[in-house]
Structure 1
Amino acid sequence: MSTRIAGQQSQMRKHPRQARSRATVDAIVQAGARVLGDEGWGGFTTNKVADLAGVSIGSLYQYFPDKLSLVDAIRRRHLDDCLAAVRVCGTAGLSSAQLAASLVEAMVAAHSIHPRLHRVLLDEAPSSDEYRNPNSAFEIEYLRYYAEAVAACRKRPVNEDDRRTALIVSDAIDGVIHNAARRGTLADPAMQAELIQLVSLLLVSGGAGTYPRFPACD
């Protein structure tokens, strides 16, 4: 499992303001994601990242004082990708099956950018309490988009039942996809089809206690 670091993780030394500096930081973060995925935490060094990004080590340290601040930026980039994936799914008029497929396909795509990276982020790279906080700003926004998508599918304003379903759906999708990333099975169509079916069953409910009931196993 990943190492836990109490408190805030190391922050960027400065934030880019001009287009050229933003492009430099983007290249560093992309290179960092590739090196971290390919080499694991044990082989992750700022020199390797700088070489792959095509920048000097001094330019890297101008923005990132250490490896932890760079991993933090890589994590934030992944979280932004996940938010963007959920945003595009919150449109009205989708059936439960269509919304389930849209959510699963979007989240699989977000985790397929650097598939090996997510195993390292989950199991090896240090993380701070910020990324485990269920009331973080990211978590609140992430679940809000899920709730809006659920309510749109049910053709009504968001209510508590929709928020509850959103939490269950997001946990189901995140759990299955994260474990698929660990196992290297993100591209498995059977896994995706089973997950879509599961999410569709959760979405078809109109509220607590109205999920389909199945006979007990003997």
Structure 2
Amino acid sequence: MRKEPRQARSRATVETVIQAGARILGNEGWAGFTTNKVADLAGVSIGSLYQYFPDKLSLVDAIRRRHLEDCLAVMRKSKADGLSPVQFVANLVHAMVDAHSIYPGLHRVLLDEAPSSDDYRNPNSEFEIEYLNYYAEAVGAYRNRLPNGADHTAALIISDAIDGVIHNAARRGMLTDSTMQSELVRLVSLYLADAGDEATA
């Protein structure tokens, strides 16, 4: 972003622009995505948009960051305490599907069409570290220990399984497919319920 919004009115403007950008990107794809269309839908002048986003690439980065923040919010709320693996994974999968369903077409565009920055592709980014740590904590909880190296590997596998299936479902327009969701829950919960003897051998 060109500058950080500090006042409530400025933050509201930025939020409106990001939401408008996500809607247009999801509906019209990268080819139809322009700052003029975003400003028009957001009800702000193009000058106001450029105060915060110097070009459409910076706006796409902001839309990506908002999606990653939504995913982190899901993980922060998803606790394994007192839940069976099936219950925990079902809650997690359904919440992740909801996060990807706000603008269903958006994720196909973000994954397949829109350019991305190096930060987004960084496997050691702050987002990746925090995101995977939540999965590792859940794995450790079901193995009755603090997360160790094997649990972090399991967390990576679980994360890739959930993200991969949900992202491909978004590409195919299948996010609301109940069979897809139930099969994903079955796959991950069976893996998570494993005592992990093989992982620690």
The reply to whether TM is greater than 0.5 is yes
Matched, 1:66 2:22: no
Please state how far the C-alpha of 1:134 moved relative to its aligned partner: 1.0
Alignment CA distance shift 1:127-1:162 (3 Å): same
TM-score (norm 1): 0.88
Matched, 1:30 2:22: no
CA contact (8 A) 1:92 1:155 kept: no
Equivalent position of 1:96 in the other structure:
85
**1:47-196 equivalence runs, <5 A:** 47-196=36-185
Please state how far the C-alpha of 1:159 moved relative to its aligned partner: 2.0
Q: Which has the higher contact order (CA 8 A, sep 6+)?
A: 1
Dislocated runs of 4+, deviation >3 Å = none
- Percent identity among equivalent residues? 73
**Amino acid across the alignment from 1:26:** E
Instruction: Count how many residue pairs are aligned between Structure 1 and Structure 2.
Output: 199
Q: Distance in 2 between matches of 1:91 and 1:21?
A: 38
Q: Distance in 2 between matches of 1:25 and 1:67?
A: 14
CA contact (8 A) 1:28 1:50 kept: yes
Q: Tell me how large the CA RMSD over aligned residues is.
A: 1.2
Please state how far the C-alpha of 1:129 moved relative to its aligned partner: 2.0
CA contact (8 A) 2:57 2:115 kept: yes
Segments of structure 2 that go 5 or more residues without pairing to the other structure are none
Q: Which moved more, 1:57-66 or 1:127-136?
A: 127-136
Please state how far the C-alpha of 1:208 moved relative to its aligned partner: 5.0
TM-score (norm 2): 0.95
CA contact (8 A) 2:143 2:196 kept: no
Segments of structure 1 that go 5 or more residues without pairing to the other structure are 1-11, 211-218
**Amino acid across the alignment from 1:161:** A
Q: Distance in 1 between matches of 2:3 and 2:118?
A: 22
